[in-house]
Amino acid sequence: MSTRVLVVEDTPTQAELARVLLASLGHEVRIVGTAAAALATAQEWRPDAVLLDIQLPDYDGLALMRQLRDAGLGGAIIVVTVNGSINIAVEAMRGGAVDFIVKPYAKARLSVTLANALEKQALARELAGVRAQLSRDSFFGFIGASPAMQAVYRTIESVAASRASVFVTGESGTGKELAAEAIHKASPRGGRAFVALNCGAIPRDLLESEVFGHVRGAFTGATSDRMGAASLADGGTLFLDEIGELPPEMQVKLLRFVQTGMVRRVGGSGDERVDVRFVCATNRDPHAEVAAGRFREDLFYRLYVVPLELPPLRARDGDVMRLARHFLAQFAREEGRGFTGFAPDAEQALMECAWPGNVRQLQNVIRNAVVLHDGDILDAAMLPPLAHRAEAEPERADASALPPPPDALLAPAEIMPMAVMERRLIEAALARTGNDVVRAASLIEVSASTIYRKMQTWRAE
């Protein structure tokens, strides 16, 4: 293996001998005689190894070694010494040299020392990489250092470079869209479009148009040509959330798209080739959906190439407080509050909660507390009641299974006080989104803080 070796040696005879020996071993070699030249060359040439004479005319070789190491330059540093300065060599090893070699050295000794040093350096680098991977506390928008999340990060990293479809499963609020975005960002398509479509939130008769687009006049209200999510995601990633909600006729059309890569706009006559990477998600058991005949098996196996299961928050050891602190800092900043941490009783309450609504529920709880209170420390009394429940009822994870919105919303002719109408609207939005305050606020185009304040008022009534 050819490697770059920088020889730092002020004695020409020694330097030339090192050069011819290293060259005969197949390495690229550069020679410098001073510490200043060593630093400059290491910076510019990025050697894999440095053969460093620690007795230099202009500088202490040990100090140079520390500078190289601190700057991340030099790779494997091998100290060259004479018999009388073994103690210095030992000191150098303690200071970060990978090995030392005593002058005069034979070719075989140099070869073995260099190979060992490079291998040791590579192993150290690999170990550091693995350690860093195993202890990541965040990853493309995810917050979490639990072993369960480390496995998720590794899967995302492994699958990102591929074009294979990914099928994300997990309870509501576990971050399925975040996972899809992470796959997209970590992939070679990261610079292209990421288009997310919530199949469960789109009226059935608009779904085809939303996915494939339409031409002007295709149906009432189609006043102009419109691209669908598939075309908008061309070259990038198409994320189909709640894919289990797709009606059977739409599953057939999606299967055709997945198989052929061709889309046809509603009302259009020609096909258009589109290159997308599919990421799908559902909070239902996809195998059960297939077994029950609600989801086409052929489509399922086209999309279920790489499964990615997101763990519920209760299975993420240590992540509750990590997430809570992250959200507290974020919401305090957004809402202009002074919170800097949690009181022990709040921490205990947060850690005892089962979090059936997962990260989204935790997020809502913290936002609620931050919006309605202020101070330096957030204590348990500031938390909404839900967080105190040690054995909370699971949140309704499946938005489609939720009761329909109050009738009042479907009967606009009914006249009622504005406050009542407002409450019904907000409650309907919360029901539609599985109590996701942020998404509910987005649906009715108000801020999440507004909903929290309203909820506080209703509780006080």
Partner 1 sequence: MPDQFALQLTRDLDPADLRHVLAVFETDLARLVGLLHDATEAPDAVKFCRVAHQLAGAAGAVGATALEDAARLAMDNDRVTPAGMEMSGAALAALARDAIARSRAFVAKLP
Residues in contact with partner 1 by CB under 8 A are 10-14, 16-17, 20-21, 24, 53, 55, 57, 82, 84, 103-104, 106-108
* DSSP category for residue 435: S
CB of 22 to partner 1, least distance (A): 11
Closer to partner 1 by Cβ: residue 58 or 298:
58
> Structure tokens of 363?
């997020």
Beta bridge partners of 378: 342
CB of 17 to partner 1, least distance (A): 5
- Dihedral sign computed on CA atoms, order 366, 369, 371, 373: negative
Closer to partner 1 by Cβ: residue 89 or 166:
89
Query: Are 27 and 4 a contacting pair, CB within 8 Å?
Result: yes
* Whole-angstrom distance, CA of residue 29 vs CA of residue 50: 10
Angle, CA 384 vertex, CA 145 and CA 144 arms, to 5°: 5
* Whole-angstrom distance, CA of residue 37 vs CA of residue 21: 22
CB of 21 to partner 1, least distance (A): 6
* Whole-angstrom distance, CA of residue 67 vs CA of residue 61: 10
277 three-class SS? strand
Query: Are 210 and 197 a contacting pair, CB within 8 Å?
Result: yes
CB of 107 to partner 1, least distance (A): 4
CB of 322 to partner 1, least distance (A): 56
426 three-class SS? helix
* Whole-angstrom distance, CA of residue 411 vs CA of residue 404: 13
Closer to partner 1 by Cβ: residue 109 or 287:
109
**Integer angstrom CA distances of residue 256 from 193, 261, 277:** 22, 8, 15
Query: Are 51 and 8 a contacting pair, CB within 8 Å?
Result: yes
Nearest to 431 by CA among 406, 453, 407: 406
Tell me how crowded residue 22 is: count the other CB atoms within 10 A of its CB.
23
Nearest to 99 by CA among 73, 125, 65: 65
Closer to partner 1 by Cβ: residue 111 or 251:
111
CB of 18 to partner 1, least distance (A): 9
The residue assigned the tokens 């009783």 is 345
Nearest to 89 by CA among 54, 122, 113: 54
> Structure tokens of 38?
């060593």
* Whole-angstrom distance, CA of residue 235 vs CA of residue 313: 33
Query: Are 361 and 316 a contacting pair, CB within 8 Å?
Result: no
* Whole-angstrom distance, CA of residue 442 vs CA of residue 302: 33
CB of 99 to partner 1, least distance (A): 19
CB of 52 to partner 1, least distance (A): 14
CB of 47 to partner 1, least distance (A): 21
The residue assigned the tokens 């090192």 is 18
Task: Please name the helix (run of DSSP H) or strand (run of DSSP E) that holds residue 325, with its range, or none.
Answer: helix 319-335
> Measured in whole angstroms, how far is the alpha carbon of residue 374 from the centre of its chain?
31
